[in-house]
Amino acid sequence: MAMTSESLDQIALVLRDDRTQSIQLKGLLTEICILPEYDQWIEDGQFEGQMFQLPSSFRSSHIMGSRLIQDVNLVIDNRLQVKINYLDDEFIFVTDGAFVDAADRVFPWHDESDLLIKTLTNEGWRKWPTIVVDPATGCGHNALRVAAERFGFDSSERALKFATINSMLNARSFSILGTSDVDKGIKIRSFEGPEKILFIVNMPFALEPLPGSLPLTSSGGKDGCEKTILALNAIERFMKRLPRNSEVRALILTYSVGASADNRWVVVDHAQRLFGPTSVRWRMPVDQGLWRINGRKEQCNPMSLSNLILKADCKLDITSPQMREALRLGYIEKEGELRSRGYDSLSYGILLIE
């Protein structure tokens, strides 16, 4: 039900040795993405944890291509073993689908990356950086969409295997693509010349009152902001090591608990303490849903803390009914605790630091 590590390595080897194969494979994956049947699967089947079944018309019209994708195990028994995200009418990303066990699953969704890239564009920042650093790069959704020298890290080796393949498919390289926990800081050599360094940060940010109950891609610690705060601290330490003539900006996508009426949010307060109030802005798009359940984010932004318990209905992420029940109780307790600290809401937004 998932691409094995060996198969992912094999694809990377095939693509590394033969640019023509990369072009051919990217073309085929793009053609799959624009099939109406694939559109339909994106709309519904994927949220049911189903795999995409390649239509027989595609197999008969792409005989050689079908052989290639079967040879590299991207298709087994006519079932696509990955999810394909076709973004900006240009980039192809392969990643795990929701059908992969949540414990191993590489982040399948691209709505978060889309929001980051849209903000980057709206701010006029997309062409600004000479260097982009993504400390939780997953399959590469963010860094590979920006034209700059790229540094990508993730604590998941499986995610980095997908990022390697996506880098080759899109002919966009990473200077470093390495396993690293954000807790250990940003592992990049110091720069000599004047650089414009952009951090794009999309750490897991769901509140997880019961440690180990959510997948690695969403567990942000008990209050949801722990990993984002580690990333902010790492950026601040990184900035202290930089030569004076380099500039840093950061875009950080996150949830934050807070007090809605006062527009006071824990993560924003932390960022302002670290970088100074005038260097930090908080954009909270109200047209964006939040609190992903079975793949969909449908709550209003900001969301009342009383909706936290809905996460316990997420069968795609938590298969055990006992665990879901325990998590439900965990969220009830967490809501009470947060309310006693003066918080009533969860917001979803982007911190802009410059």
Ligand X SMILES: C[S@@+](CC[C@H](N)C(=O)[O-])C[C@H]1O[C@@H](n2cnc3c(N)ncnc32)[C@H](O)[C@@H]1O
- The torsion angles phi and psi of 203, rounded to 5 degrees, stand at -75, 165
Tell me the C-alpha to C-alpha distance, in Å, between residue 176 and each of 60, 104, 149: 40, 23, 9
User: Using CA atoms, how far apart are residues 37 and 60, in angstroms rounded to an integer?
Assistant: 16
Closer of 195 and 226 to ligand X (Cβ): 226
Nearest to 75 by CA among 104, 103, 38: 38
Q: Which tokens go with 53? A: 């079944």
Q: How far is the CB of 131 from ligand X (least distance, A)?
A: 17
Nearer to ligand X, 154 or 208 (CB): 154
Q: Of 170 and 272, which has the nearer Cβ to ligand X?
A: 170
Q: How far is the CB of 249 from ligand X (least distance, A)?
A: 17
Nearer residue to ligand X within complex by CB, 26 or 105: 105
Which residue(s) pair with 92 in the sheet?
A: 86
Nearer to ligand X, 18 or 101 (CB): 101
CB of 135 to ligand X, least distance (A): 6
- How far apart CA 132 and CA 129 sit, in angstroms, is 7
Comparing CB distances to ligand X, the nearer of 187 and 264 is 187
For the bound state, the minimum distance from the C-beta of residue 217 to ligand X, rounded and expressed in Å, comes to 4
Least gap, CB of 282 to ligand X (angstroms): 19
Binding region for ligand X (CB under 6 A): 107, 112-113, 135-139, 141-142, 154-156, 159, 181-183, 202-204, 216-217, 227
The helix (run of H) or strand (run of E) holding residue 337 is helix 321-340
Shortest Å distance, C-beta 237 to ligand X: 15
Cβ atoms of 285 and 279 within 8 Å: the answer is: no
Closest by CA to 166, choosing from 253, 106, 252, 114, is 106
Residue 352, sorted as left (phi over 0), alpha (psi -120 to 50) or beta, turns out to be beta
Residue nearest ligand X, Cβ-based:
138
